[in-house]
Amino acid sequence: MSANKLALIRYKTIDECLRNRYRKWTLEGLIEKVGAVLYEYEGISSGVSRRTIQADIQTMRSDKLGYNAPIIVLEKKFYQYEDPSYSITNAPINDADVEKMKEIVGVLKQFNGFNYFEEMSEMIARLENNLYRSTKQHRNCIQFEDNKLLKGLSHINPLYQAILKKTALLVEYKSFKAKQSQQQIVYPYLLKEYRNRWFLIAQLKNQTQLQIMALDRIIEFQELGKELFVEYGGVDFERYFSDLIGVTKSHADRAHKVLLWVDERNAPYVLTKPIHHSQKVEKELEDGVIIRIDVVMNFELEREILGFGECMKVIYPRILAGRIQKRLQKSIAGYEGAPGQGTR
- Choose among 245, 238, 239: nearest CA to 295: 245
Among 59-68, 129-138, 192-201, 279-288, whose mean pLDDT is lowest? 129-138
* SS3 of 79-120: EEECCCCCCHHHCCCCHHHHHHHHHHHHHHHHCCCCHHHHHH
Q: What are the residue ranges of helices labelled H in the chain?
A: 3-19, 27-42, 50-61, 95-110, 121-134, 156-165, 237-240, 267-272, 299-307, 318-337
Using one digit for the tens of pLDDT, what is the confidence trace for 179-215? 889 999 999 999 998 888 899 999 999 988 899 999 9
- pLDDT at position 124 is 66
pLDDT at 150: 74
pLDDT of residue 274: 94
Model pLDDT, residue 343 = 46
74-91: pLDDT as tens digits: 998 999 999 988 888 876
**Average pLDDT over all residues of the chain:** 85
CA distances from 93 to 15, 47, 53, 154 (A): 16, 29, 22, 17
Region 268-286: mean pLDDT is: 94
- Compute the half-sphere exposure of residue 296: CA atoms within 13 Å on the CB side of its CA: 19
Does residue 317 have a cis bond before it (omega within 30 degrees)? yes
Alpha-carbon span 223 to 133, nearest angstrom: 37
Dist. CA 183–CA 218, nearest whole Å: 10
Residue 115 has pLDDT above 60, yes or no: no
For residue 49, name the pLDDT band (cuts at 50, 70, 90): very high
CA 243 to chain centre: 21
More confident residue, 265 or 208: 265
Distance CA 92, CA 134 (A): 9
Across the range 43-69, mean pLDDT stands at 90
What share of residues in the chain are helix, strand, coil (percent, to 5)?
A: 40, 20, 35
Contacts by 278-283, CB closer than 8 A, 24 or more apart: 278/243
Whole-number Cα distances in Å, 197 to 110, 134, 193: 31, 25, 6
- The predicted structure's pLDDT at residue 292: 97
Window from 45-59, 107-121, 162-176 with minimum mean pLDDT: 107-121
Q: What is the arithmetic mean of pLDDT over 101-121?
A: 63
Nearest CA-CA partner of 2 in 51, 44, 53: 44
What residue ranges define each of the domains in the chain, with the CATH number in brackets? 3-89 (1.10.10), 95-134 (no CATH), 153-240 (2.30.30), 256-336 (no CATH)
Quick one: CA dihedral 6, 12, 13, 18, positive or negative? Answer: positive
Distance CA 143, CA 125 (A): 10
CA distances to 6, 36, 46, 161, 323 from 43, in Å: 12, 9, 9, 17, 57
pTM, 2 dp = 0.64
Please state, as a whole number, how many other Cβ atoms lie within 10 Å of the Cβ of residue 130: 16
Q: Tens digit of pLDDT for each residue in 14-48?
A: 999 998 877 889 999 999 999 999 988 888 888 89
pLDDT of residue 84: 85
Residue type, 308: F
- The rounded percent of the chain whose pLDDT value lies above 90 is 51
344 falls in which pLDDT band (50, 70, 90)?
very low
More confident residue, 63 or 133: 63
pLDDT in tens, 133-184: 666 555 656 666 666 667 788 888 889 989 999 999 999 999 888 888 999 9
Supply the pLDDT for residue 330: 92
Amino acid 91: pLDDT: 67
In whole angstroms, give the CA distance from residue 49 to residue 28: 10
